[in-house]
Every structure is written in C-alpha cells, then in structure tokens.
DNA sequence: CTATTTGTTCTATAACTTGTAGAGCAAAGG
DNA sequence: CCTTTGCTCTACAAGTTATAGAACAAATAG
C-alpha cells in the first residue's frame, strides 16, 4: 500500500495519513480484515515519529473504521451503521459544496465532479493482505 | 445576517466564520456587492476579538470571495474564473466523499445528499444590503 | 478641511496543537 | 518464554489560536 503523504504540507501529517487510509478503504485497496502496517514500521517508512502514526490510527479507530489489537495490529473493521454520521457528514459537505457554488461553479458541474470521484472508487483491485 | 458560530467548538472561530460566510454567499443571502459587517462590530456581536474576524476576512480575501477596502469595509466580489480552484477542490471533495463511502453509505445516497444540499442553495432571498 | 470609520500592521502573551523523543507497561501470539 | 505490537507516560520545541492594546493609513461624510 502506497500512501501519498507530503511532509512539507501545512496539513498535519497524522491528518494526511488518516485521509489517505480513508481513501484507500473507499478505493477498495483496503477491505474488511485488511491489516495496516504496524505504527512503528509505517513511521519508519516515512521517517516520522511513531506517535504521529499512532494519532492517525487513533482517529480512524474513533471513527470506527479500524480496530486496534495488540500483536495483531490495526485491522479494517466491517462497516457498521452509525446514526450520527450522516448529519455530521452532511454539514461538512454543505461547507465544501458552498465553496464551489460561491466560486461560481455550476451545480451540475459540481455534481458531475462528485459522481466521477465516486465512480473512481472501487475500481482498484484489493492488494494481497499478508 | 445571522452567522451560527459556536465558540465552544473545537473548530477555530475564524474558520467557522469563514465557512458560514461562504455558505451565505452560496445561499444567496450575500450577493455581489453585499457588504459584510465591519470587523470590530462583528467581533463585538460575538464577543470575540476583532483580530479573529480579521483572520476570517483575510481568508475570504485570499480565496477571492471578498474585497477589503478602508472605510467601505468588506464587499462580496463578482465570481471570477480561477483555474487552480477546481483540481484543489476536487482533491478535498475526494477525501470527504471517501469518508462516506468508507462508512458504507451507498454512492447513490451520497449523490442524492449532495444534490439536495446544492438544491437548498439559492432558495433564500437576499437580505437588504444597507 | 476635519473628523470618523474602517482596514492594516505591530508587538505581546497565554493556552493549545503538532511533531519529536524516549522510556516503559500490557497483552496477544508463536 | 519472548517477541511483537499497541498503549501510556513525561517532556520539549515549534507553531497555531485567540486575546489585547496601540497606532497608522486611507477613504468617506459632514
């Protein structure tokens, strides 16, 4: 699994890690039961501190996307219904969509972009999970 | 204009202000030429520091959504084409959409939500601009 | 012209966040 | 038993957030 993280970005590293892993799950690169690298080894790969990876994994756990076990490591969980997710997500989507509208992008073009992004998910074959 | 800002939120106040103003522009509550409140008076309304409002206005100016003039104050600018906006926005949309997909929301439901949010914009009549 | 309103810029400070660092504990598995 | 792994603790430097006050600069209103 290749995670595209920019150490020089203004976006916090732990946030980028979280985002890339969420996208990998949406993409189908990571599926239910897939193991994520151990915090220390992923940290070593990027040349960052393992506490930073820990923080990203902790966010994903809080969001219910992965489960963390000692020895077994981080594992992608089956998707569970979460009633509080939809309204909270919609509020964030509203802000993002408003930004595009305010910049003068036509609503149908915005929707088309969303559709093509959604279509791009799941087209990637899952990697072998060791 | 009523801006819903939560001082106790973990989201920075200047960010919330920016978000609410962007949404007001998308909504049509603020249109080209609309004046925003003066930094000091808006700060007084919320009981916050005027530097915080200043930061929000500065973000909006950087994004090309408002123009700041001495004496005249902050004014909503006509929307101008911005070639760097679309790809940058799409990247952020990708992360947000991935989150919904990873949480198991079906793609068509996500699109429907986006469509209804977009439809909700522009249905509000512009306020009088004094 | 003068006075006022408004954005702009400067310094300063306290609290919180980010990322690094190291030590050590705790449990699951081979 | 022992290794691997998550987890927790303390600590530190650098940056961000929000507050605070002072003063400058330009444009408008009277």
Rounded Cα gap, residues A88 and A93, in angstroms: 9
Average pLDDT of the residues of chain B: 91
pLDDT in tens, B79-96: 888 999 999 999 999 999
User: What pTM, to 2 d.p., does this model score?
Assistant: 0.91
Q: Taking the CA of residue A34 as centre, how many other CA atoms within 13 Å lie in the half-sphere pointing to its CB?
A: 20
Tell me which residues of chain A, numbers 69 to 108, contact chain B at a CB-CB cutoff of 8 Å.
79-82, 85-86, 89-90, 92-105, 107
Angle (nearest 5°) at CA B72 between B35 and B58: 70
Q: Between the CA of residue B69 and those of A127, B35, B125, what are the distances in Å?
A: 55, 11, 26
CA dist B82 and A104 (Å) reads: 10
Whether the pLDDT of residue A91 is over 60: the answer is yes
Of B89, B104, B110, the CB nearest to A100: B89
Does residue B130 reach within 7 angstroms of strand D, measured from its CB? Answer: no
Any residues with CB less than 8 A from the CB of A29 and at least 6 apart, and which? A1, A124, A126, A127
CA angle B34, B40, B41 (to 5 degrees): 65
Residues of chain B above pLDDT 70, percent: 94
Residue B2 banded pLDDT, cuts 50, 70, 90 = confident
Test mutation, A97, A110, A123, chain B, max B CBs within 10 A: A97
Tell me the average pLDDT of chain A.
91
Query: pLDDT by residue (tens digit) across A50-76?
Result: 999 999 999 999 999 999 998 898 999
Around A87, how many Cα atoms within 13 Å sit in the side-chain half-sphere? 2
Residue A25 has a pLDDT of: 96
């Amino acid at each position: 699994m290749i995670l595209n993280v920019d150490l020089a970005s203004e976006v916090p590293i732990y946030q980028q890690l979280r985002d890339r892993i969420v996208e990998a799950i949406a993409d189908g690169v990571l599926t239910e039961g897939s193991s994520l690298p151990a915090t220390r080894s992923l940290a070593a790969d990027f040349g960052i501190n393992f506490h930073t990876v820990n923080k990203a994994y902790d966010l994903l756990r809080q969001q219910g996307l992965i489960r963390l076990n000692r020895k077994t490591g981080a594992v992608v969980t089956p998707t569970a219904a979460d009633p509080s997710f939809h309204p909270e997500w919609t509020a964030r989507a509203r802000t993002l969509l408003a930004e595009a509208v305010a910049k003068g992008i036509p609503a149908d073009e915005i929707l088309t972009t969303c559709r093509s992004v959604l279509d791009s998910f799941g087209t990637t074959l899952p990697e072998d999970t060791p």
